[in-house]
Structure 1
Amino acid sequence: MIIKQQFIDGKWVNSKSNETRDIINPFNQEVIARVTESDETDARAAIKVARYAFDHGEWPTTPATERGHVVNKIADLIERDKEELAELESLDTGKTMEESRGDMDDIAGVFRYYAQLADKDGGEIIDSPVANSVSKVVREPVGVCGQITPWNYPLLQASWKLAPALVAGNTLIMKPSEITPLTSIKVFELMEEAGVPAGVANLVLGAGGTVGAELSVHDDVDLISFTGGIQTGKKIMQAASGNVKKLALELGGKNPNIIFADADFDTAVDQAMNAVFFHAGQICSAGTRILVEESIHDAFVKSLTDKVKNIKLGSGFDEDTQMGPLISEQHLNKVMRYVENGIKEGATVATGGKRPTDPELQNGFFYLPTILTNCTTDMDVVQNEGFGPVITVEKFSTEAEAIKLANDSIYGLSGGVWTADIAKAERCVAKMRMGTVWINDFNLYFPHAPWGGFKQSGIGRELGKAGLEEYTETKHIFHNLKPEPINWFQ
């Protein structure tokens, strides 16, 4: 089997140690690829290259329009190779091809959005209190960026980081998840084809405990952008304090989906499923915490349960499949323990709560779509992110109680409100402490709108203009056009 390599200084190379890692298809545990496995040594080599490319290379001072053209070319190539990329993503993650194709459209859209933003911010002139002077504010690239991406949306999350970093004129080292690196490898091939200069974008393949840790602690890295778990995020914050790196952290969520009695019932039920069971619930913004008004609670749970029982599990390459497997055996065991603990806490399994018994699914990391009822906010299963196909259901009686329950969490990534009462919806949104709140929708995102969380869901924003600003530093320039002695000390 050919070993897939990493990309450093414009060259495809093996790790210094020549270690490798097998990449597993979560549907059947077959080895689908073998990749080089790096450690701190390779990370340091990539950092050195990126540092030199930023300090001495031409990319940071290349006209923004030209950088935009290169990033737009990457979008063209992603669209050209959409089917190949989608196949790699489904092999790597187990998600359906329909989901993966949709991801590729979104990814191309992210590159195009930032490409067209490239030359739109030429700075601003601000009023100066001094005569015969000019005072202006400009944005400059932050420098060398370490980018650490998760396994659930490997290329989508990579695009949220790569496109704004490149457009802003930075250099970078990306470390994809060690278990889902295939589409990241492919997109670096496309970036090379698009004309990204050697040394500007570097890809290092390895574990978070080695490569990721080195990116976080190294003094020549100016920014870390990380998407992943909250405990790892806290470790990165500590490591980054050594040289006071800029941080952009997206650390997940336990996202409430509030269903009022006056909502469109059938639509709310349908969207409650969609909010969770895409990609087997392995979505940071999944609406896994449903809060239902007491008067419709029983009817809502019954309708939801009846529909969830019919979700078809299978291979992502089967057009009839609606939900694929979890990413790994380790993660499957984590989700199983999560549900078992919920049951011990007093939750009731309305459906699911176990592995499927179908013979054709036994080699994959499948878990049945699960609904837990009789849940209360003090339960661990309600408070902590399970990152699987599991919904917890709570009930409320008043608007104030719904808001209180929704905010009772260390997380604040996203949430939803379902109601026909516009005023009620706006009152709820104003009080919900989350980075994104949907009204009569859930899990919709697009490149123009910023993405990120309140509280322990993270720091900073991706997407939108705010996502580009994360990759810049603000500089104030004061130019005295008629300097004269002050004579203070005469």
Structure 2
Amino acid sequence: MAQRSQFVVSDVITPAGLLIGGERVAHTSAGTHQHIYPATGRPNVVVSLAGREEIDRAVAAGRQAQRAWMSLTVDRRRDLLIDLADLVHEHLDELAELNVHDYAVPISYAGTALLLERFLRHYAGYVDKPHGAIAPVNGSFDVNLIEREPYGVVAVIAPWNGALAVAASCVAPALAAGNAVVFKPSELAPLAALRFGELCLLAGLPPGLVNVVPAAAEGGDALARHPGVGKVHFTGGGATARKVIAAAATNLTPVVAELGGKSANIVFPDADLQSAAALAAHQGPLMQSGQSCACASRILVHDAVYEDFVDAFLARIAEATIGDPLDRAVTFGPVIGQAALDRILTAIGDAVGRGSGQLLTGGRRIGGELAAGYYLEPTVFGDVDNASELAQTETFGPVVSVIRFRDDDEAVSIANDSVYGLNAFMHTRDLVRAHSVARRLESGSVWVNTFSDMSPQGPYGGYKQSGFGRTGGVEGLHEFLQVKNIRIGMR
């Protein structure tokens, strides 16, 4: 693996105050957080944090703006979302760079700004389309209307590793459905989200329609349990989801949760091994340094091609370029911080100590010119026992397990032997196998011969402990609409 360590100095970062009702709020009841840039370990920017007082203000601003939003014609609301998409397009480079500064994802992978533009354009097209229906009532001439209405103010809680992706998949449909949004990015990664909030204002959306409130646990709890919030959409880990759901239960507020994963990536003997190895390296330890709910961290390989695949896979990983995330030649960056680095190294050490598998490559912190950052070698274990903690627990880092299987039934059994079910992947040239295996996998999404390329047209979400509800597609729009039945007597 090559290293490139000439770190670029950026001038796009500004002090990170909240955005409430169209105004920046720097002085808050919850104080501030010192943001650290993971690539260098150095302070990046001071982030203002929302507390209960600021959450109250944001929800109140949202309620007022939502009424103004719904007073506009559908044509006007549609056009404003298209204008916002145009503005995002004009600022793609800036948003991508801010995304890098948020959590040091290499800019070569920072495509979520473009994803945001695509989702905005897609859901703008739903604003002026029918959301309801007329259903006949048995034995009556009454008019029976089934309508879908906005919740009012919705809370969107994003993880540090995907604020722009969540803005795309959640904020865009929420606005198209007629809601206002209180958008809470993590204090670990607030920069791109705050700039998106500013672009909403520049596009002409009513002030307060999109409020951006970076917050830690206090602010997140206040938002989830706020009586003025009609629905909560949470993306993150299972432990935090339980707290969010418990807080929302105070007011019986409905919650959508997109949670973690321990995705299986099945390589069948008829697969194109070079292509499968390249995609497995990208979807596994390399993309976002494995810090993704979509990470394919369990690679299931048929016995007949196991050695050939592992050789090709390790060769692909060895080609990774590690270094400054703002360098477009870099394909692998650091993990989010020291605590994450320590946790992942502990998991690696435990796996080695327990004999969970054979350590094939990696396993150490990267030193030299990158020593000040939180860099960890891409790590691969071979011949892993699927019952081991290494294979069952989400590592959320650049650590993957390679597991053998002998036939299709065993592959499906191993893949489904997990409490998670967000994504599954497979590589095969057999169309019958692709269809039959996909239907047997307990997963919200199945990707055949490709990576997890989210699109606004396709619903995305999990089975089992990977969550409930969907983003994307008409299913994602309906998450932000509630159903009303109106019956008008005609006699």
TM-score scaled by structure 2? Answer: 0.94
| Contact 2:108/2:330, CA 8 A, preserved across alignment | no
Q: 2:475, 2:312 → 1: CA distance? A: 40
Q: Does 1:255 align with 2:247?
A: no
Q: 2:14, 2:160 → 1: CA distance? A: 22
The residue number in structure 1 matching 2:372 is 363
Q: 1:137, 1:61 → 2: CA distance? A: 21
The residue number in structure 2 matching 1:83 is 93
| Contact 2:109/2:331, CA 8 A, preserved across alignment | no
Q: 1:16, 1:269 → 2: CA distance? A: 49
From 327, 342, 357, the equivalent of 2:336 is 327
From 308, 315, 323, the equivalent of 1:306 is 315
The residue number in structure 1 matching 2:350 is 341
| Correspondences of 1:160-309 after superposition (within 5 Å) | 160-207=169-216, 209-276=217-284, 277-309=286-318
The residue number in structure 2 matching 1:406 is 415
Q: Does 1:48 align with 2:47?
A: no
Q: Does 1:419 align with 2:428?
A: yes
Paired residue type of 1:151: W
Mean CA deviation greater in 292-301 or 461-470: 292-301
| Contact 1:60/1:141, CA 8 A, preserved across alignment | no
Q: Does 1:473 align with 2:482?
A: yes
From 37, 42, 45, the equivalent of 2:49 is 37
| Contact 1:414/1:434, CA 8 A, preserved across alignment | yes
Q: 2:192, 2:393 → 1: CA distance? A: 30
| Contact 1:62/1:169, CA 8 A, preserved across alignment | no
Structure 1 position 43, deviation (Å): 1.3
Mean CA deviation greater in 344-353 or 298-307: 298-307
Structure 1 position 18, deviation (Å): 7.4
Paired residue type of 1:157: V
- The verdict on how the C-alpha distance between 1:18 and 1:220 changes in structure 2, with shifts beyond 3 A counting, is closer
Q: 1:53, 1:373 → 2: CA distance? A: 54
Q: Does 1:317 align with 2:311?
A: no
Structure 1 position 302, deviation (Å): 2.1
Structure 1 position 68, deviation (Å): 1.7
Q: Does 1:433 align with 2:445?
A: no
The residue number in structure 1 matching 2:109 is 99
> Residues 294-321 of structure 1: CA distance to partner in whole angstroms, max 9, x if unpaired?
1111221122123212311101122321
Q: 2:327, 2:196 → 1: CA distance? A: 25
Paired residue type of 1:74: L
> Residues 29-55 of structure 1: CA distance to partner in whole angstroms, max 9, x if unpaired?
22222221222221122223323444x
Structure 2: gaps of 5 or more residues = 1-12
| Contact 2:28/2:48, CA 8 A, preserved across alignment | no
> Residues 116-175 of structure 1: CA distance to partner in whole angstroms, max 9, x if unpaired?
121122421111224432112111001221111011122122221111111111122111
The residue number in structure 2 matching 1:120 is 129
From 14, 24, 39, the equivalent of 1:27 is 39
| Contact 2:47/2:187, CA 8 A, preserved across alignment | no
Secondary structure of 2:125's match? helix
Q: 1:70, 1:335 → 2: CA distance? A: 44
Secondary structure of 2:372's match? coil
| Contact 2:360/2:381, CA 8 A, preserved across alignment | yes
Q: 1:85, 1:33 → 2: CA distance? A: 16
Q: 2:16, 2:270 → 1: CA distance? A: 54
| Contact 1:217/1:240, CA 8 A, preserved across alignment | yes
Secondary structure of 2:482's match? strand
| Contact 1:2/1:34, CA 8 A, preserved across alignment | no
The residue number in structure 2 matching 1:442 is 451
| Contact 1:287/1:442, CA 8 A, preserved across alignment | no
Structure 1 position 206, deviation (Å): 1.6
Q: 2:485, 2:26 → 1: CA distance? A: 43
> Residues 153-198 of structure 1: CA distance to partner in whole angstroms, max 9, x if unpaired?
2212222111111111112211101011000110110001111112
- The verdict on how the C-alpha distance between 1:132 and 1:12 changes in structure 2, with shifts beyond 3 A counting, is same
| Correspondences of 1:369-408 after superposition (within 5 Å) | 369-408=378-417
Paired residue type of 2:259: L
Secondary structure of 1:180's match? coil
Q: 1:2, 1:308 → 2: CA distance? A: 36
Paired residue type of 1:217: R
Q: 1:333, 1:83 → 2: CA distance? A: 32
Structure 1 position 26, deviation (Å): 0.9
Paired residue type of 2:251: N
Residue correspondences, number:
477
The residue number in structure 1 matching 2:74 is 64
Percentage of matched positions with identical amino acids: 33
Q: 2:293, 2:74 → 1: CA distance? A: 33
Q: 2:158, 2:438 → 1: CA distance? A: 30
Structure 1 position 470, deviation (Å): 0.3
Paired residue type of 2:22: G
Structure 1: gaps of 5 or more residues = 483-490
Paired residue type of 1:237: I
Q: 1:241, 1:234 → 2: CA distance? A: 10
From 109, 119, 124, the equivalent of 1:110 is 119
Q: Does 1:132 align with 2:132?
A: no
Secondary structure of 2:234's match? strand
Q: 1:9, 1:307 → 2: CA distance? A: 48
Secondary structure of 1:290's match? strand
Mean CA deviation greater in 406-415 or 194-203: 194-203
The residue number in structure 2 matching 1:487 is none
TM-score scaled by structure 1? Answer: 0.94
| Contact 2:183/2:213, CA 8 A, preserved across alignment | yes
> Residues 437-465 of structure 1: CA distance to partner in whole angstroms, max 9, x if unpaired?
01122212211000100011001001111
- The verdict on how the C-alpha distance between 1:18 and 1:406 changes in structure 2, with shifts beyond 3 A counting, is closer
Q: 1:5, 1:206 → 2: CA distance? A: 11
Secondary structure of 2:47's match? strand
Structure 1 position 344, deviation (Å): 2.2
